[in-house]
Amino acid sequence: MDARLLDVLVCPLCKGPLVYDKAAQELICNADKLAYPIRDDIPIMWADQARVMGADEVARQS
């Protein structure tokens, strides 16, 4: 994932910052508790494609 792209991407729902999880290939929105997938180096920024994170995952990201 290009670092310059990470600087400009925000959560499509709350417009908040995203955290890159390299191991899971996801962009994490801690505010909305959503994980947006990255497929073939392309972030999929649709809310209906995002995975809802469990409470334990949210705690680890904080």
- C-alpha 60/C-alpha 48 separation (Å) is 23
Q: What is the pTM of this model?
A: 0.87
Q: Where are the domains of the chain?
A: 3-61
- The torsion of the CA quartet 35, 39, 41, 42, rounded to 10 degrees, works out to -80
Strand partners, 26: 21, 37
Q: How many CB atoms within 10 Å of residue 48?
A: 5
Query: Which CATH fold would you assign to the domain 3-61?
Result: N-terminal domain of TfIIb (2.20.25)
Each residue's pLDDT, cut to its tens digit, for the chain (62 residues) gives 778 888 899 999 999 999 999 999 999 999 999 999 999 989 999 999 999 998 887 777 76
Please identify which residue in the block is written with the tokens 């929105």: 29
- C-alpha 54/C-alpha 16 separation (Å) is 19
